[in-house]
Amino acid sequence: MLSNLFSPIRIGSMTSKNRLLMSAMSINFGVDDSCCVTDQLVEYFIERARGGVGMMLVGGGSVHPGGQELPDLPQMYNDDCIPALKDMVQRVKKYDTLFGVQLMHGGRQSYLPQKVAPSPIPAPAVVKGEVRALEIDEIKELISCFGDSARRCQTAGFDFVELHGAHGYLINQFMAQNSNIRTDEYGGSFENRTRFLFEIIEDIQAKTGKDFPIGIRINGNDYIENGWDLESTVRIAPLLGKAGVVYLHISGGVYGSTELTIPSMYTPHGCFVHLAQ
């Protein structure tokens, strides 16, 4: 059944030497006071790359200081981060792995006391604090922050970026009805709730060119009342392919999911879907 596991696969413009991907983890170490990466993070990834994985992701790549999920995650929100990222890429790429960054904004699941989200609804679990609804101009600014961050990753030499659209973070908050009760063009219908995501993809493509691979992690199901569900996933998948996304990394659950039986709230990630172009 796993006979192809160690054979190469083409994903967009990339070829992975095998079918193993180390999924993104926000490990909350390996950055300095400005959240630029340090040798500790480089050495962590070198060890993982030496293990032989075909694709790897830096987790928690923060696109905006107000969306930092945890204090010690690598920032992609200003150009000062580029030299250290470049050095990391050069040292890790010697081990023949595709190296990407998962870009994220925590929204109402950021660790900061003042949080922003599509609507002023606190997260159901884990984080506490005030949540303020984003104004339209702030939404546009955040879209642009994703594009600028992807451009920095490309400049640093990363092979691809992945958007964190799962697990109850900002993109997922826009997509799910229980966290998005907006009545403007970013809320309501399926089309409006997914607009934030599609505008991010467009902004990235405008700033990096269409050949720079974009993957996305989304939940197949949030497993929470009125959350993002399987029907919506089936509906969005071909649209993401059409928009130029090269893979879907399907996960499940948000913090506070009621139907999950495991305590961490993370389901083991389900599957990785390569979108034929």
Ligand X SMILES: Cc1cc2nc3c(=O)[nH]c(=O)nc-3n(C[C@H](O)[C@H](O)[C@H](O)COP(=O)(O)O)c2cc1C
125 within 8 A of 177, measured Cβ to Cβ:
no
Q: Does 25 bind ligand X (CB under 6 A)?
A: yes
57 within 8 A of 102, measured Cβ to Cβ:
yes
d(CA 142, CA 64): 7
Q: Which is nearer to ligand X, 162 or 203 (CB)?
A: 162
d(CA 165, CA 143): 13
Q: Which is nearer to ligand X, 187 or 248 (CB)?
A: 248
Q: Does 59 bind ligand X (CB under 6 A)?
A: yes
Report, in Å, the least distance between residue 12 CB and ligand X.
Answer: 19
256 within 8 A of 269, measured Cβ to Cβ:
no
**DSSP letters along 11-50, please?**
ETTEEESSS-EE-------SB-TTS-B-HHHHHHHHHHHH
Judged by CB under 6 A, the stretch of 7-15, 142-150, 163-171, 201-209 that binds ligand X is: 163-171
Q: Does 45 bind ligand X (CB under 6 A)?
A: no
Q: List the x/- string, 71-110, binding to ligand X by CB under 6 A.
A: -------------------------------x--------
Q: Which is nearer to ligand X, 164 or 193 (CB)?
A: 164
Q: Does 217 bind ligand X (CB under 6 A)?
A: yes
Q: Does 24 bind ligand X (CB under 6 A)?
A: yes
* Residues forming the active site: 169
Token reading at 195: 């607009």
- Phi and psi of 21, rounded to 5°? -125, 130
Q: Which is nearer to ligand X, 159 or 187 (CB)?
A: 159
Judged by CB under 6 A, the stretch of 129-137, 146-154, 161-169, 192-200 that binds ligand X is: 161-169
Report, in Å, the least distance between residue 8 CB and ligand X.
Answer: 22
Strand residue runs (E) in 67-128: 98-104, 114-117
Report CA-CA distances (Å) from 229 to 50, 158, 209, 250: 37, 32, 31, 12
Contact with ligand X (CB under 6 A): which of 12, 30, 54, 60? 60
**Contacting residues toward ligand X, per CB under 6 A:** 23-27, 59-60, 102, 164, 166-167, 217, 251, 266, 268-269
